[in-house]
Amino acid sequence: MKRTLLLVLALQLATLTSLWAQPKVIAHRGYWRAEGSTQNSVSSLTRAAELGAYGAEFDVWYTVDNQLILFHDSKFNGTEVEQLNAADMVGTPLPNGEPLPTLDEYLTEALRHPNIRIILEYKTHHNSKERQWEGAEAIVRKVAEYGLQERTDYIAFSLEACRGLVHHAPDAKVYYLNGDLSPRKLKNESFAGADYYKLILLDVNKGFTKKAHRLGLEVNVWTVNKEEELLKAAELGLDYVTTDYPELAIELYKGVEN
Ligand code: MG
């Protein structure tokens, strides 16, 4: 049934190929739904690469002892992550038993998969603007240590995080997540574009992508999980979709030409 529906949708899509662009597919928190994997793990990157996703997104915190680790939530066992030392978290078993990784471990794995793009979300640190900028500098330095500047993009909700990343990595693409800046304002901040919540798919926001494109910006949308939303993203000409279902998105977009 599911397969049939997919086929029907793919055929519908094929008829519109000349009109639509093909959004690039980014696996949200990696391809964590793959068997045996989990979010923000080294294996979620491995599996996203094996799937052929354009990119793997993941979340990075800067700990109180100036280390970079992968984790999503702002609290770990009830304590703010930004108040913890890396050793309090690193190595802790994730839901699949895999150890919670450092950014070093994740980037080491990235080197084994040269075709996937690294979409690094730098989390919002509330202690100070200075601290947020320090973390940005540490991230940029770490990515350069691995020689991964060319295939790393940055995303962040915090305006200061984005500004810090642009300052320390002026050649990198930095996308703003928080949804409250117009294309013109994104451009003025020297960001590469928007990475906004799926509200952008609503018709009321239809003009956003066109305006952004006119300014030379790119548009990504999260988290696009349903087939109809994935198709809408293609119809609107979005550059990227960030999804928990990268296998579905890749399959759907096979019928869409670039
Ligand atoms: Mg994230």
Residue 29 alpha carbon to ligand 1 centre in Å: 6
Residue 26 alpha carbon to ligand 1 centre in Å: 11
- Quick one: pLDDT at residue 17? 47
- Quick one: pLDDT at residue 203? 60
> Rounded distance, CA 123 to CA 90, Å?
17
Residue 210 alpha carbon to ligand 1 centre in Å: 25
Residue 5 alpha carbon to ligand 1 centre in Å: 30
> Rounded distance, CA 132 to CA 115, Å?
30
- pLDDT-derived band at 7 (thresholds 50, 70, 90) equals low
- Quick one: pLDDT at residue 18? 44
Per-residue pLDDT, averaged over 176-182, amounts to: 95
Residue 188 alpha carbon to ligand 1 centre in Å: 24
Per-residue pLDDT, averaged over 162-171, amounts to: 98
Q: Are strands 173-176 and 193-197 parallel, antiparallel or unpaired?
A: parallel
- pLDDT-derived band at 255 (thresholds 50, 70, 90) equals confident
Residue 157 alpha carbon to ligand 1 centre in Å: 9
Per-residue pLDDT, averaged over 159-168, amounts to: 98
> Rounded distance, CA 193 to CA 199, Å?
16
Average pLDDT of the chain is 92
Cis peptide before 243 (omega within 30 of 0): no
Distances from the Cα of 159 to the Cα of 17, 22, 166, 178, angstroms: 37, 29, 11, 8
Per-residue pLDDT, averaged over 10-27, amounts to: 69
Residue 164 alpha carbon to ligand 1 centre in Å: 18
Residue 73 alpha carbon to ligand 1 centre in Å: 9
Provide the percentage of residues in the chain whose pLDDT is more than 90.
84
- Whether the pLDDT of residue 189 is over 90: the answer is yes
- Whether the pLDDT of residue 4 is over 70: the answer is no
Closest-CA residue to 198 (of 223, 227, 225, 162): 223
Residue type, 72: H
Instruction: Give me the residue label for tokens 């350069």.
Output: 144
- pLDDT-derived band at 256 (thresholds 50, 70, 90) equals low
- Quick one: pLDDT at residue 258? 52
- Quick one: pLDDT at residue 127? 80
- pLDDT-derived band at 8 (thresholds 50, 70, 90) equals low
Closest-CA residue to 154 (of 176, 179, 184): 176
DSSP class of residue 89? Answer: T
DSSP string, 143-211: HHHTT-GGGEEEEES-HHHHHHHHHH-TTSEEEE-SS---HHHHHHTT--EEEEEGGGGSGGGHHHHHH
126 in the Ramachandran plot: left (φ > 0), alpha (ψ -120 to 50) or beta? alpha
Per-residue pLDDT, averaged over 179-190, amounts to: 96
> Rounded distance, CA 115 to CA 55, Å?
9
Residue 200 alpha carbon to ligand 1 centre in Å: 18
Higher pLDDT, 8 or 99: 99
pLDDT tens string 19-39: 567 999 999 999 999 999 999
Contact criterion met (CB below 8 Å) for 47 and 241: no
> Rounded distance, CA 224 to CA 243, Å?
5
Q: Which helix (H) or strand (E) holds 119?
A: strand 117-122
